[in-house]
Amino acid sequence: MSKVILITGASRGIGRSAAVLAGARGWSVGVNYASNAAAADETVAAVQAAGGKAIAIHGDVSDEAAIIAMFDATEKAFGKIDGVVNNAGIVAPGSALADMDIARMKRIFDINVLGAYLCAREAARRMSSSRGGRGGSLVNVSSAAARLGGAGEYVDYAGSKGAIDTLTIGLAKELGREGVRVNAIRPGLIETDIHASGGKPDRAQVLGVTTPIGRPGTADEVGESIVWLLSDASSYVTGALLDVAGGR
């Protein structure tokens, strides 16, 4: 069945891979991005080349009005939403908590936690059967950091992902009878631009060899799991925290 999906932070990395893999299933995708319009346009073209439909939607997930607008834009283009991927997220350069300032921590929690909660709220409003929705699937992109803690690098980021795990557990129970499944993916060391934004471009390569599988993961390996959770093939899976971390 064809689906309408909104993916936050889909211009690059894991979100981009999920978008293209959704396109390969013939689905329609709202490709949200924060600032890199060229990357978002490239993702849209890749989704279309894969066989799906897509539009690029600018909007910062720390802005409530922008979130509502990105859901509206997706539904205006393609009809009612069947799935949402809460993927947009950031890290900051490695630091001990003792050296972190409030501006950094506020930004991490505004985007990674409040942004994800507001997207989840909007997904609940639009997909819940008692509110006129047709059910659906919400996939929250957490991190292995939620269980590892991020010591010495980013305990703020790790905590923000812990909140995503808890959101997943609670909302899955809240929406089970609404036809909405809620799951989280916890990626490990995945080769994307996020490590450069944290000041260590080769972080996934360097640490990836220490994982049981012996290498970093790819964005496509995470995207496959996301698309499976969006699909009807995972119809009895909800409240799950799925590690895609090479055994780390």
Please give the positions annotated as active site.
157
Residues interacting with ligand NAP, by CB under 6 A? Answer: 8-15, 32-36, 39, 60-62, 87-90, 111, 141, 143, 187, 189-190, 192-194, 197, 204
Rounded to a whole number of angstroms, the minimum distance from the CB of residue 236 to ligand NAP is 25
The CA-atom distances, in angstroms, between 142 and each of 48, 100, 183, 191 are 27, 22, 10, 16
d(CA 90, CA 161): 11
**Letter for the amino acid at 175?**
L
Instruction: Return the structure tokens found at 219.
Output: 């964005």
Q: Which residue, 54 or 141, has its beta carbon nearer to ligand NAP?
A: 141
Rounded to a whole number of angstroms, the minimum distance from the CB of residue 146 to ligand NAP is 9
Buried b (16+ CB within 10 A) or exposed e, 12-43: bbbbbbbbbbbbebebbbbbbbbeeeebbebb
DSSP secondary structure string, 159-192? HHHHHHHHHHHHHHHHHGGGTEEEEEEEE-SB-S
Rounded to a whole number of angstroms, the minimum distance from the CB of residue 226 to ligand NAP is 10
Rounded to a whole number of angstroms, the minimum distance from the CB of residue 139 to ligand NAP is 11
Contact (Cβ atoms closer than 8 angstroms) between residue 219 and residue 202:
no
Q: Which residue, 75 or 220, has its beta carbon nearer to ligand NAP?
A: 220
The CA-atom distances, in angstroms, between 170 and each of 129, 166, 239 are 18, 6, 8
Q: Which residue, 8 or 211, has its beta carbon nearer to ligand NAP?
A: 8
Rounded to a whole number of angstroms, the minimum distance from the CB of residue 231 to ligand NAP is 19
d(CA 6, CA 27): 11
Question: 53-58 and 83-86: which strand pairing?
Answer: unpaired
d(CA 36, CA 38): 6
